[in-house]
């Protein structure tokens, strides 16, 4: 468990405030979602790791053998490594909240960490995730706030698999919201606003519980 197990960048926030982890899509890097993270959670310290798997030079968080066909052994490796990375940063920062935001491949690794460590995040945003397998949740997602965003014409993440993921999460007790748009794999303003609202509500509730 190491804070430096991934190449990463940190944008400092308020001392003792939220800690937001942002996970890029295929071909992105540790910078891809930092500014979005700052926009969504202005007080948070933001951590952006770079995926350690390469697909013809494009950074990813785990390997795949084809579109939507995952190397499940490598996904297990990556999930364990990322969970340790997140825990190390949480232990060092002792934040008021732990938040997660991932897009595409980043949403997939975030979801996999969530299945393995259900109590690690207070709220997560999964933008255009593709989970083509039945997840095994090691514990309960009861009380977890999760936003899934998706495009009804997404050629990479078919809507039926998004609906199936929603059903899995709800069955395990998560508080799930799905934000749909009529486009494809791109992120639209409605998704960003839904993410902003999720983080704001989670932060407000945590503040109220400590008054």
The 3-class secondary structure across the chain, one letter per residue, is CCCCCCCEEEECCCCCCCEEEEECCCCCCCCCCHHHHHHHCCCCEEEEECCCEEECCEEECCCEEECCEECHHHHHHHHHHHHHHHHHHHHHHCCCCEEEEEECHHHHHHHHHHHHCCCCCCEEEEECCCCCCCCCCCCCCCCCEEEEEEECCCCCCCHHHHHHHHHHHHHCCCEEEEEEECCCCCCCHHHHHHHHHHHHHHHHHHHHHCC
Tell how strand 58-60 and strand 8-11 pair up: unpaired
185 included as an active-site residue: yes
Residue of 112, 128, 144, 154 marked catalytic:
154
Residue of 104, 112, 144, 203 marked catalytic:
104
d(CA 173, CA 141): 5
Residue of 29, 71, 96, 185 marked catalytic:
185
Q: Which residues are catalytic?
A: 104, 154, 185
């Amino acid at each position: 468990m190491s804070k430096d197990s991934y190449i990463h960048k940190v944008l400092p926030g308020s001392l003792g405030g939220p800690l937001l982890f942002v996970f890029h899509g295929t071909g992105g890097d540790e910078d891809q979602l930092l500014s979005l993270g700052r926009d969504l959670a202005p007080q948070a310290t933001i951590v952006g790791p770079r995926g350690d798997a390469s697909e013809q030079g494009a950074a990813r968080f785990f390997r795949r053998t084809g579109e939507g066909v995952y190397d499940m052994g490598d996904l297990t490796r990556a999930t364990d490594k990322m969970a340790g990375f997140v825990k190390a940063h949480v232990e060092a920062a002792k934040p008021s909240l732990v938040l997660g935001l991932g897009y595409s491949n980043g949403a997939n690794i975030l979801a996999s960490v969530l299945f393995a460590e259900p109590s690690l995040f207070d709220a997560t945003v999964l933008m255009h995730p593709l989970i083509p397998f039945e997840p095994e949740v090691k514990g309960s997602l009861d009380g977890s706030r999760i936003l899934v965003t998706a495009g009804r014409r997404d050629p990479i993440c078919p809507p039926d698999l998004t609906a199936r993921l929603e059903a899995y999460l709800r069955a395990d007790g998560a508080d799930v919201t799905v934000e749909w748009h009529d486009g494809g794999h791109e992120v639209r303003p409605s998704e960003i606003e839904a993410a902003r609202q999720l983080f704001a509500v989670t932060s407000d509730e945590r503040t109220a519980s400590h008054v």
